């Protein structure tokens, strides 16, 4: 029996991860702002798989939110075996014109909450000498991204942080996996106001379910970096051999608004 805590479980990849974990017969803690959607998912999963699901409605971009969730799971004596830091969002537009408050919330969620959750639950995992953590990064992590500059930088942080801490705990029975999806069908594009970007407009994207299945398998097998899709893996790795100026230009061209 392994209990998983999944942030951003009310939609998209996080919701699919919750379904996969419950189908194994294991318990869950689900976190997101939309408590009603979490409670609907809880009813569905508890009825279908006879598991216990705890839901916590929380805006994880607010200061101390991760600690409040940690305190709640401690109060309820729930041991977290798998921590899945999935909640995150982006924003599309030129940095000189985008909204600072949205970017601040993004940094708080994509970086601060993820880092704080990792610290809190990792300390318990180290004491037990077991645990799995999956941090959802992105193929955006591998290069600077004009028109999504802050988002790409937050995901570069997630990738770098995950690889480094994974190295620190690799002899302690714990693994940290950075899941790197490419563009995926979910609520992400609407939340990022990215629908007009060439990389998604009119494009067939993999489903959130397919990405979740890939990520869950990678987490269980303890993979350090899991890039979804062959083309995404080739592109993510190829940037290391290209001049950075060229990489940024090509990325701008891929992300720009479709004409």
Distance in Å, CB of 86 to ligand NAP, minimum = 5
Q: Which residue has the tokens 């996080």?
A: 14
Nearer to ligand NAP, 170 or 196 (CB): 196
Residue 143 backbone dihedrals phi, psi, to 5 degrees: -155, 155
Nearer to ligand NAP, 3 or 112 (CB): 112
Query: Contact at 8 Å (CB) between 87 and 31?
Result: yes
Nearer to ligand NAP, 162 or 184 (CB): 184
Structural element, H or E, at residue 168: helix 149-169
Distance in Å, CB of 202 to ligand NAP, minimum = 15
Sign, CA dihedral 58-42-190-239, equals: positive
Distance in Å, CB of 189 to ligand NAP, minimum = 7
Nearer to ligand NAP, 37 or 172 (CB): 37
Distance in Å, CB of 24 to ligand NAP, minimum = 20
Strands (E) in the chain, as ranges, are: 4-7, 28-32, 53-57, 82-85, 131-136, 174-180, 225-227
Pairing of strands 225-227, 174-180: parallel
Distance in Å, CB of 130 to ligand NAP, minimum = 25
Nearer to ligand NAP, 127 or 203 (CB): 203
With b meaning 16 or more CB within 10 Å and e meaning fewer, what string describes 5-43?
bbbbbbbbbbbbbbbbbbeeebbbbbbbeebebbeebbe
| Interaction site with ligand NAP (CB under 6 A) | 8-14, 32-34, 59-61, 86-89, 109, 136, 138, 181, 183-184, 186-188, 191, 208
């Amino acid at each position: 029996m392994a209990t998983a805590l999944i942030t951003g479980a009310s939609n998209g990849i996080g919701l699919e991860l919750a379904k996969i974990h419950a189908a194994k017969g294991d318990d869950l803690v689900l976190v997101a702002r939309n408590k009603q959607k979490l409670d609907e998912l809880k009813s569905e999963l508890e009825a279908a798989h006879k598991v216990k699901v705890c839901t916590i409605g929380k805006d994880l971009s607010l200061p101390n939110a991760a600690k409040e969730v940690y305190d709640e799971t401690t109060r309820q004596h729930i041991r977290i075996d798998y921590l899945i830091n999935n909640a995150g969002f982006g924003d599309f537009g030129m940095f000189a014109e985008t909204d600072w408050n949205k970017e601040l919330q993004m940094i708080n969620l994509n970086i601060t909450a993820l880092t704080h959750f990792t610290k809190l639950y990792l300390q318990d995992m180290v004491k037990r000498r077991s645990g799995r953590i999956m941090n959802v990064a992105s193929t955006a992590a591998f290069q600077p991204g004009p028109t999504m500059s802050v988002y790409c930088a937050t995901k570069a942080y997630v990738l770098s942080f995950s690889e480094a801490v994974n190295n620190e705990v690799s002899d302690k029975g714990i693994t940290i996996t950075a899941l790197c999806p490419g563009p995926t069908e979910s609520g992400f594009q609407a939340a990022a106001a990215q629908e007009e970007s060439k990389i998604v407009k009119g494009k067939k994207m993999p489903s959130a379910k397919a990405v979740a299945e890939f990520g869950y398998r990678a987490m269980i097998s303890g993979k350090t970096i899991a890039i979804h899709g062959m083309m995404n893996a080739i592109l993510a790795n190829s940037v290391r051999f290209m001049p950075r100026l060229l990489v940024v230009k090509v990325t701008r061209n891929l992300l720009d608004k479709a004409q």
